[in-house]
Amino acid sequence: MASDPLASSANPVTVEVPLSEGLEHTPGEWEKATAAVLRKSRRLADDADDSQVWAELATTTLDGISITPLGTPSLTTGLDDGGLPGQAPFTRGATATRELDGWDVRAWYTDPDAERTARDVVTDLENGVNSLWISAGSGGVPIDALATVLEPVFVDLAAVTLDAPFEPLEAARALAAVIADKGVDAAPGTSFGADPIGAAFRRRGAVDFDATVEIARLAHPLGVRALTVDATAAHDAGASDVQELAYSLATGAQYLRVLAEAGFTVEEAAGLIDFRYAATDEQFPTIAKLRAARRLWNRVVELSGVTTSAAAQLQHAVTSRPMMSRYDPYVNMLRTTVAAFAAGVGGASAVTVLPFDEPLGLPEPFSRRIARNTSSLLISEAHVAAVTDPAGGSHAVEKLTDDLARAAWTLFGEIDAAGSLEAALDLLRGRIEATVSDRALAVARRTRPVTGVSEFPQLHETLPERRPYDRPLEVHRYAGEFEALRDEPASAPVFLASMGTIAAFTARATFAANLLAAGGIDTVVAGPSEGVDDVVTAYEAADRPAVVCLVGNDKAYEAWGADLVEALRGAGATHVVLAGKAAVGADTTIAMGVDALAFLRSIREVLA
Q: What is the pTM of this model?
A: 0.93
User: Percent of the chain at pLDDT above 70?
Assistant: 96
In this predicted structure, what is the pLDDT of residue 572? 94
CA distance 341 to 580: 39
**Top-level class of domain 99-416:** alpha beta
In this predicted structure, what is the pLDDT of residue 115? 95
**To which H or E segment does residue 241 belong?**
helix 241-261
In this predicted structure, what is the pLDDT of residue 11? 55
In this predicted structure, what is the pLDDT of residue 206? 80
pLDDT in tens, 131-154: 999 999 999 999 999 999 999 999
Q: What is the mean pLDDT of residues 62-66?
A: 95
The answer on pLDDT for 414 being more than 60 is yes
Nearest to 542 by CA among 531, 554, 526: 526
The answer on pLDDT for 8 being more than 80 is no
Kindly provide the residue ranges of all beta strands, DSSP E only, lying in 373-520, ordered along the sequence: 494-498
pLDDT in tens, 310-335: 889 999 999 999 999 999 999 999 99
User: So where are the chain's domains?
Assistant: 99-416, 488-607
| Residues in Cβ contact with 523 at an 8 Å cutoff, skipping those fewer than 6 apart | 493, 494, 495, 496, 512, 513, 516, 517, 549
| pLDDT band (50, 70, 90) for residue 1 | very low
Question: What is the CATH topology of the domain spanning 488-607?
Answer: Rossmann fold (3.40.50)
Q: What is the mean pLDDT of residues 55-83?
A: 91
| pLDDT band (50, 70, 90) for residue 535 | very high
Nearest to 80 by CA among 6, 1, 18: 6
pLDDT in tens, 463-481: 999 999 999 999 999 999 9
Which backbone phi and psi does 161 adopt, to 5 degrees? -125, 140
Q: What is the mean pLDDT of residues 393-417?
A: 96
CA distance 348 to 104: 9
In this predicted structure, what is the pLDDT of residue 20? 56
The answer on pLDDT for 2 being more than 50 is no
Distances (CA, A) of 472 to 139, 211, 359, 383, 546: 8, 24, 9, 35, 40
Task: 96-99: list long-range contacts, CB under 8 Å, 24+ apart.
Answer: 96/388, 97/388, 98/385, 98/388
| pLDDT band (50, 70, 90) for residue 69 | very high
Give the type of residue at 227.
L
